[in-house]
Amino acid sequence: MFIIKFAEAKGFIDVFVPFEKEVVKQNTEQLFKRYKKQFNGYLLPDIPKNDTQEEEAFMLLERIRKKDISPQFIINCELQFVEYCKEFILIYDYFDEDYYIIMDEVFESACLKIKDENLIEEYRIAIKILIEFGNEYGLEFSEICKTLVIYKTLL
């Protein structure tokens, strides 16, 4: 910790802190786009044999979680992961129990963070769409997800 002794320096720092916050925001947006592209490559491959690499996508998600950028950043990545899984199921009519389990675990993690950070309203539409999809396809999203207020309104 340092103490600013010169008024000019303090004024300089006060002026440029908002700029730094904007740079961080832009960097996280670019980072999210990069991760989104990687998830897309792993979970929605552009090949006719519908061969996903969900283990690699999950390992990428684990690396993202360890970086602990922000709860919202991690929630966005987790929901993007689940969204791509959903798209893969819709495109290829895919059924694999292990795939569904991974999808459920990631969705549960996102729901826990949403609840802990009190961001239910912000993610209401995304959660609603995924829960409706899960119900339609017989996915049993975990009991933790069912504790969200949005889930109760869908029943």
Average of pLDDT values for 7-18?
48
Phi, psi of 122 (to 5 degrees): -65, -35
The per-residue pLDDT for 58 is 87
User: Using CA atoms, how far apart are residues 42 and 38, in angstroms rounded to an integer?
Assistant: 6
Answer whether 102's CB lies under 8 Å from 58's CB: yes
The proportion of the chain whose per-residue pLDDT surpasses 90, expressed as a percent, equals 17
The per-residue pLDDT for 91 is 84
Higher pLDDT, 48 or 99: 99
User: Using CA atoms, how far apart are residues 8 and 22, in angstroms rounded to an integer?
Assistant: 23
User: For residue 87, is pLDDT > 60?
Assistant: yes
Answer whether 137's CB lies under 8 Å from 89's CB: yes
User: For residue 74, is pLDDT > 90?
Assistant: yes
92-117 residue pLDDT tens: 887 778 888 888 899 999 998 998 89
pTM of the model: 0.74
User: Using CA atoms, how far apart are residues 63 and 66, in angstroms rounded to an integer?
Assistant: 5
Confidence of residue 4 (pLDDT cuts 50, 70, 90): very low
User: For residue 76, is pLDDT > 90?
Assistant: yes
